[in-house]
Amino acid sequence: MPEQHALTVIAEVADSNVAPLRNLLHAVGQNIDADGNVPLASVQSLLPGGAPAPGGPNFIEFRKLSTVHFLRWVLLEPARDAQGNRIGASLAFSTDYDGPLDAHLDELLRIAEPALQAIYSFCDPAPPSGQLLGFLCSRSRPYEAFYRGHPGRSVQQIWGSANHSEDELRDILEAEFDPPPRPASAVDAVARARTATGHSGWRLAATAGPPLGVQWLALAKPFAVALALFFFLPWILFGFWIGAASLAAAILATAAALGVWGTLLNLLDRSDGCRECELLRQAGPPPDPDGSQDPYVAERRGARLREVSEMEDQQTFVQNQLTHVVNVKPGMLRLLWLRFVLCLIDWLAHTLFVKGKLGEIPTIHFARWVLIDDNRRLLFFSNYDFSWESYLGDFIDLASDGLTGVWSNTTFFPPTRFHGWAALPRALWLALRALPGLGSLRATLLFAQGAKRESDFKKWTRDHQVPTQVWYSAYPSLSVVNVNNNTEIATGLFAPLTGAEQQVWLRRL
Amino acid sequence: MPDSIQAGLQLGDIQGLVQRGYKELPEAKFGLFQITDAARARAWLGRISNEIAKATTREEEKELRIKRVSALHVAFTCEGLRALGLDEATLNRFPREFREGMVTPHRQALLGDGDPQRGDPAQRRKAEKDSGPWSWRWGAERYVEHDGESWRSDTRLHLLVLLYAKVDATLRNCPANHWPVPGADGLHELESLGTNLLPGRKEHFGFRDGIAQPHIAGMPPKEDANPHPDNTIAPGEILLGQPNAYSEMPEGPTDANGQGFGRNGTFLVFRQLHQDVAGFWKYIAAQTSGVVTAGVALASKMVGRWPNGEPLVQRPTAPTAGLEDDTDRFLFRPRDPHGFRCPIGSHIRRTNPRDSLGDNPEKALELANLHRMVRRGRAYGPPLVEKLDPALMMKKEDDREERGLHFICLNAAIDRQFEFVQNLWTNNPKFAGLYDDPDPLIGVPDGQTGSFTVQGDPVRCRYSDIPRFVQVRGGAYFFLPGIEAIRKLAGAYPSDKAKTL
How do residues B192-223 score in pLDDT, each as one tens digit? Answer: 999 999 998 899 999 999 889 999 999 998 76
User: Which of A185-189, B380-384, B441-445 has the least mean pLDDT?
Assistant: A185-189
Confidence label for B501 from pLDDT (cuts 50, 70 and 90): very low
Instruction: For B116, name the nearest residue in chain A, comparing CA atoms only.
Output: A315
Q: How far is A373 from chain B (nearest CA, A)?
A: 33
Instruction: For B448, name the nearest residue in chain A, comparing CA atoms only.
Output: A316
Distance CA A124, CA A13 (A): 5
Confidence label for B76 from pLDDT (cuts 50, 70 and 90): very high
Indicate the helix (H) or strand (E) that contains A324: strand A319-327
Of B419, B423, B459, the CB nearest to A177: B459
How do residues B249-277 score in pLDDT, each as one tens digit? Answer: 999 999 988 999 999 999 999 999 999 99
φ/ψ (deg, to 5) at B228: -110, 145
Indicate the helix (H) or strand (E) that contains B407: strand B404-411
Q: What is the DSSP letter of B488?
A: I
Q: Does B150 touch chain A (CB under 8 A)?
A: no
Residues of chain A with pLDDT under 50: 285-299, 419-420, 434-448
φ/ψ (deg, to 5) at B202: -95, 165
What are the b/e assignments for B344-369, b being 16+ CB within 10 Å? bbbbbbbbbbbbbbbeebeebbebbb
Instruction: Check A387 against B423: CB less than 8 A apart.
Output: yes
* Interface subset of B 437-466, CB within 8 angstroms of A: 445, 455-462, 464
Closest by CA to B339, choosing from B366, B301, B367, is B301
Q: Does B340 touch chain A (CB under 8 A)?
A: no
Using an 8 Å Cβ cutoff, are A59 and A115 in contact? yes
- Global pTM value: 0.92
Mean predicted confidence (pLDDT) in B420-432: 95
Q: How far is B246 from chain A (nearest CA, A)?
A: 7
Indicate the helix (H) or strand (E) that contains A463: helix A454-463
The pLDDT value given to residue B376: 96
Within chain A, what is the greatest distance between any pair of CA atoms?
Answer: 78
Q: How many CB atoms are located within 10 Å of the residue A42 CB? A: 17
Instruction: Check A315 against B115: CB less than 8 A apart.
Output: yes
Judged against a pLDDT cut of 80, whether residue B176 lies above it is answered with: no
Instruction: Check B248 against A485: CB less than 8 A apart.
Output: no
Average pLDDT score, chain B: 90
Distance CA A14, CA B291 (A): 72
Q: Does A30 touch chain B (CB under 8 A)?
A: no
Instruction: Check A506 against B458: CB less than 8 A apart.
Output: yes
The pLDDT value given to residue B56: 93
Which pairs with CB-CB distance under 8 Å and at least 24 residues apart come from B114-119? Answer: B114/B446, B115/A315, B115/B445, B115/B446, B115/B447, B116/B151, B117/A314, B117/A315, B117/A316
Residues of B in contact with A479 (CB under 8 A): 430, 433
Distance CA A437, CA A469 (A): 38
Q: Does B96 touch chain A (CB under 8 A)?
A: yes
Bridging pattern class, strands A58-61 and A377-385: unpaired
Q: How many CB atoms are located within 10 Å of the residue A351 CB? A: 19
Q: Does B93 touch chain A (CB under 8 A)?
A: no
Q: How far is CA B88 from CA A34, B74, B102, B253, in A?
A: 44, 21, 20, 11
φ/ψ (deg, to 5) at A273: -50, -50
Distance CA A304, CA A467 (A): 8
Q: Does B89 touch chain A (CB under 8 A)?
A: no
Instruction: For A363, name the nearest residue in chain B, comparing CA atoms only.
Output: B433
Judged against a pLDDT cut of 50, whether residue B82 lies above it is answered with: yes
Judged against a pLDDT cut of 50, whether residue B451 lies above it is answered with: yes
What is the complex's ipTM, to 2 decimals? 0.92
Instruction: For A360, name the nearest residue in chain B, comparing CA atoms only.
Output: B358
Percentage of chain B surpassing pLDDT 90? 75
B82 three-state secondary structure: helix
- B239: Cβ contacts below 8 Å, ≥ 6 apart: B9, B14, B18, B216, B250, B264, B265, B266, B412
Q: How far is A509 from chain B (nearest CA, A)?
A: 7
The sheet with strand A4-12 has its strands ordered as A4-12, A90-98, A68-76, A470-473
Q: What is the sign of the dihedral through the CA atoms of B262, B263, B265 and B267?
A: positive
Using an 8 Å Cβ cutoff, are B365 and B331 in contact? yes
Higher pLDDT, B225 or A151: A151
- A11: Cβ contacts below 8 Å, ≥ 6 apart: A90, A91, A93, A120, A123, A135, A139
Q: How far is B209 from chain A (nearest CA, A)?
A: 27
Of B367, B416, B424, the CB nearest to A386: B424
Distance CA A347, CA B457 (A): 40
Instruction: Check B248 against A453: CB less than 8 A apart.
Output: yes
Residues of A in contact with B112 (CB under 8 A): 315
Instruction: For A507, name the nearest residue in chain B, comparing CA atoms only.
Output: B459
Instruction: Check A386 against B105: CB less than 8 A apart.
Output: no
Q: Does A232 touch chain B (CB under 8 A)?
A: no
Instruction: Check B455 against A507: CB less than 8 A apart.
Output: yes
Closest by CA to B455, choosing from B347, B341, B348, B352, is B341
Q: How far is B482 from chain A (nearest CA, A)?
A: 23
The pLDDT value given to residue A296: 41
Q: How many CA atoms lie within 13 A of A252 on its CB side?
A: 6
